[in-house]
Amino acid sequence: MGLNYAKEKESQELKKQLNGPWTQKGDQGLTKGAREGSSECPLPSGPWPKPSLWAQPGLVVVPGTDVTLWCSRPKLLSPQEKNFTLWKAGRQQPLQNRSSAQAWTGFLLSSVGLEDAGSYRCAYGEPRGSARDSEPSDALELMVTGSLPKPSLSALPSLVVEPGTHLTLQCRQPLQSPLWGVTFALLKAGTPQPLQSQSPAGTSAVFPLLSVRAQDAGNYSCIYHGKEGSQVSEPSEVLEIWVTDSIEKDYTMENLIQIGLATLILIILGFILGDACNDWRRSEDKSSKRDPRLE
């Protein structure tokens, strides 16, 4: 009998080890998802996802431009009013605060000057402040031109090219520029961000535009700047790039030939109609001059 009792107790201990301690509490020690066999996980209690930040009309602007920095948070399941904060590198306090129930809000920088250039970030959180504020957005570098002499921009092989041509735009730093080891940026009108950026060892940068297409046509310029955009040159003179289509040129010539032939035909028909009218008038004049005695 003592042997049977020992075996029964050993079996109970083995069940406890296999099933774990929660078997003694039933379902009370488990979440609802675990009890039902669900794969759902509880929401994390960390910071909100970071927002995105972009500039309108663009990242490179001339002094006096009104710039709006848009801070956009991810769309949440239940939209609620959030407090958006704009930060600038080098400042201990927020630059601006705005509350909004929308997924985004705009921070206006009126008539920007050289002092407004720099690195910006934004964040959002509960209106009354909370330990669960969002992570800051990625840094946005706003550049205000004009603190350095402008560079020159040239195009090879020419300003007018056919589709598929490899075009090269060269931005050259002026000799009187006081900076060395600068970063060059290629700009295109209508595009808010620089198309390309380079930090060469010399005083010029080459920006390739490979196999250009019709949408590559437009007005281009370039700038150069120091580290972190602290000093930014004036934009270069604008280069207007034309991308022609040989097929369209053939169509244009064909249309001109057709228009010329149609004009020539109209002129010939005009002469024919004019002669016919003259013949009719002469016949009328002859009939009116007949001798009345013959009537």
Specify whether 126 is located in the same domain as 200.
Answer: no
- Domain span at residue 166 reads 152-246
Report if residue 65 sits inside a domain.
Answer: yes
Report if residue 18 sits inside a domain.
Answer: no
Look at residue 26 and tell me whether its pLDDT is greater than 60.
no
Domain final position from 144, 174, 189: 144
Report if residue 5 sits inside a domain.
Answer: no
Burial of 189 (0-12, 13-18, 19+ CB in 10 A): exposed
Specify whether 105 is located in the same domain as 185.
Answer: no
Residue 207 and residue 220 in contact, taking contact as beta carbons nearer than 8 Å: no
* This prediction's pTM: 0.62
pLDDT in tens, 188-231: 999 989 999 999 988 999 999 999 999 999 999 999 998 866 78
Look at residue 37 and tell me whether its pLDDT is greater than 60.
no
Q: Work out whether strand 152-156 and strand 167-172 pair parallel, antiparallel, or are unpaired.
A: antiparallel
Residue 193 and residue 154 in contact, taking contact as beta carbons nearer than 8 Å: no
Distance CA 152, CA 169 (A): 10
pLDDT in tens, 161-185: 999 999 999 999 998 887 888 999 9
Residue 119 and residue 108 in contact, taking contact as beta carbons nearer than 8 Å: no
> Which among 240, 264, 223 is positioned nearest to 62, based on CA atoms?
223
The Cβ of residue 85 has, within 10 Å, a number of other Cβ atoms equal to 21
Return the pLDDT at 84.
93
- CA–chain centroid gap for 106, Å, is 17
User: What's the total number of domains in the chain?
Assistant: 2
Domain final position from 89, 121, 144: 144
Q: How far is CA 187 from CA 81, 153, 217, in A?
A: 37, 11, 13
Specify whether 123 is located in the same domain as 182.
Answer: no
Distance CA 4, CA 22 (A): 27
Q: What are phi and psi of 183, to 5 degrees?
A: -110, 130
The domain that holds 224 is classified in CATH as 2.60.40.10
